[in-house]
Amino acid sequence: METLIEVSHVSKSYGKVQALRDVSFQVKQGELFGLIGPDGSGKSTLFRILTTLLKPDQGTAHVLHADVLADFRTIRRSVGYMPGRFSLYQDLTVEENLRFFATVFHTTVEENYERIRPIYGQIAPFKDRRAGALSGGMKQKLALCCALVHAPQILLLDEPTTGVDPVSRREFWEMLARLRQEGITLVVSTPFMDEARRCDRVAFLYEGEIKGIDRPETILTRFSDILCPPGLERKTAVENAAPLIQVDNLVKRFGTFTAVDHISFSVQRGEIFGFLGANGAGKTTAMRILCGLSLPSEGKAEVMGFDVRTQSEEIKRRIGYMSQKFSLYEDLTVRENLRLFGGIYGVNAKEITTRTEETLRRIGLYEEQHTLVRSLPLGWKQRLAFSVAIFHRPELVFLDEPTGGVDPATRRQFWELIYQAADQGITIFVTTHYMDEAEYCDRISMMVDGHIRALDTPDGLKARFQARDMDEVFQKLAREAQRGDAAFTHAQTERL
């Protein structure tokens, strides 16, 4: 097989930070090549060098036998690239986005339609919808179509499935497998180990160096301490006193769309309550209502005995919240962020100082206390955001996809913090797309199309659905969905 990508001794640094150090590898034609490694290990830098967006400091890189420095035009014409954050125009419709990218590459959608038909077919029913109004999984499919529209020989995908639910992820990887059969060479980075297993070969990148390139099984075993950390153990001590959250027939409508459709559940004090569901199932909406960020359309919800409709300010004083998108002040230092939010929640000045010291040591950011939050790696930011959320010692904390986009070891560290907080008696309400994390919860609710379809302990759910793991439970439940990404595929199959 012909070698299509050849990287030899590439180094790149940004100021003092060495992003890549003497990186060499080759990708053969038709290969599905995976790049794995913690956040900040240099994966995106490598992609940007291969797509000729960034110049290497040292070493050479050839794509399709063309040098990335000398012959970048050839490369740009024949390589498809899907950057980590969707590069779609939110205000253009699905079809307009696709046509735009086709025009940019001097081609038309019609010319290469056969290539994208199996994927575009799934989103075609929504071709007049604004890209901004699509769910995560659909955006990702559209972005893939846009990257494929000029019939590239090589496709580079930088963490394409971050923030996407397991069902959509699986479908996405099925598409990648199909593309590979058609002879396209693929390089994909991913934080998900189940995805890494589907690659032909993976490279493990750590602190800018390639630590190993081999079959996925070999790499995952060799670096299991980082990539496959052992599970966490916890003694559950759930009190069966009055519930902390009580939800009765809660409804939230946006215009004609019912995001949350008559859900009822309760959360006990001291519990770790997992809130699962596909993209667009209504998890975030429900959580925002409970935090007092959004008003319910119907029904009743009480948090710590306060009504979300009328007493939201009382609730806000007593809860912590960590949003899906990192929302601390990036232009303040670690310490200043803790101080600010301590002050906002009325913690007194002396107490702020002692708690700050204690927190910084506990989350291992003591050395970084005067660093601007902007320059921290994502995993550290997430730890800090969690610590800010529990800094005022709330009884209850809401975490909305707190660990998106980081590697398994970092996620495990994060869950250790959650367990510590739970041991101190803080009730945890968490949404996640990682099914290994779902296993860490005491109880799980599964949302499908705005309804709660199942609510039980992880073991209870596995027994009921006769599943080996939570992933299987999720796949079985989410397949029923009438809306969301799974539903679109479903609708399309019926149409054919």
Please report how close the Cβ of residue 387 comes to another protein at its closest, in angstroms. 13
Q: By CB under 8 A, what part of segment 237-296 binds another protein? A: 291-295
The SS3 of residue 113 is helix
Instruction: From 168, 179, 206, select the one nearest 475 (Cα to Cα).
Output: 168
Contact in structure between 335 and 361 (CB atoms under 8 Å): no
By CB under 8 A, residue 345 contacts another protein: yes
Sequence-separated (6 or more) residues with CB below 8 Å from residue 15: none
By beta-carbon proximity to another protein, the closer residue of 341 and 380 is 341
Please report how close the Cβ of residue 321 comes to another protein at its closest, in angstroms. 4
DSSP string, 226-290: HHSPPPP--------SS-SEEEEEEEEEETTEEEEEEEEEEE-TT-EEEEEE-TTSSHHHHHHHH
By beta-carbon proximity to another protein, the closer residue of 81 and 341 is 341
Please report how close the Cβ of residue 385 comes to another protein at its closest, in angstroms. 8
Of residues 332, 417, 454, 467, which one binds another protein by CB under 8 A?
332
Taking contact as CB under 8 A, which single stretch among the options 189-197, 262-270, 311-319, 432-440 is the one that binds another protein?
311-319
By CB under 8 A, residue 331 contacts another protein: yes
For residues 268 and 244, give the distance between their C-alpha atoms in angstroms, rounded to a whole number: 5
Contact in structure between 445 and 454 (CB atoms under 8 Å): yes
Opening angle at CA 195, ends 192 and 200, nearest 5: 135
For residues 399 and 389, give the distance between their C-alpha atoms in angstroms, rounded to a whole number: 9
By beta-carbon proximity to another protein, the closer residue of 341 and 488 is 341
Contact in structure between 288 and 252 (CB atoms under 8 Å): no
By beta-carbon proximity to another protein, the closer residue of 292 and 408 is 292
Taking contact as CB under 8 A, which single stretch among the options 150-158, 344-352, 355-363, 429-437 is the one that binds another protein?
344-352
Of residues 316, 393, 453, 490, which one binds another protein by CB under 8 A?
316
Instruction: From 302, 252, 264, 287, select the one nearest 455 (Cα to Cα).
Output: 264
Taking contact as CB under 8 A, which single stretch among the options 117-125, 221-229, 298-306, 326-334 is the one that binds another protein?
326-334
By beta-carbon proximity to another protein, the closer residue of 151 and 332 is 332
By CB under 8 A, residue 343 contacts another protein: yes
Of residues 326, 366, 419, 465, which one binds another protein by CB under 8 A?
326
Please report how close the Cβ of residue 326 comes to another protein at its closest, in angstroms. 7
What H or E segment, with its residue span, contains residue 339?
A: helix 334-344
The SS3 of residue 338 is helix
What is the number of other CB atoms lying within 10 angstroms of the CB of residue 458?
Answer: 19
Of residues 126, 341, 380, 386, which one binds another protein by CB under 8 A?
341
The bridge status of strand 58-63 relative to strand 3-14 is antiparallel
Contact in structure between 397 and 389 (CB atoms under 8 Å): yes
Taking contact as CB under 8 A, which single stretch among the options 26-34, 118-126, 154-162, 340-348 is the one that binds another protein?
340-348
For residues 326 and 141, give the distance between their C-alpha atoms in angstroms, rounded to a whole number: 24
By beta-carbon proximity to another protein, the closer residue of 210 and 301 is 301
Of residues 6, 336, 357, 395, which one binds another protein by CB under 8 A?
336
Taking contact as CB under 8 A, which single stretch among the options 71-79, 224-232, 265-273, 330-338 is the one that binds another protein?
330-338
Q: By CB under 8 A, what part of segment 356-375 binds another protein? A: 372
Of residues 174, 217, 225, 330, which one binds another protein by CB under 8 A?
330
DSSP 8-state class, residue 93: B
Instruction: From 104, 29, 91, 97, select the one nearest 64 (Cα to Cα).
Output: 29
Count the site residues for another protein by CB under 8 A: 31
Phi-psi label, residue 393: left if phi above 0, alpha if psi -120 to 50, beta otherwise: left
By beta-carbon proximity to another protein, the closer residue of 152 and 292 is 292
Q: By CB under 8 A, what part of segment 376-395 binds another protein? A: 388
By CB under 8 A, residue 51 contacts another protein: no
By CB under 8 A, residue 328 contacts another protein: yes
Site of interaction with another protein (CB under 8 A): 291-295, 312-313, 316-317, 319, 321, 323, 325-332, 336, 339-346, 372, 388
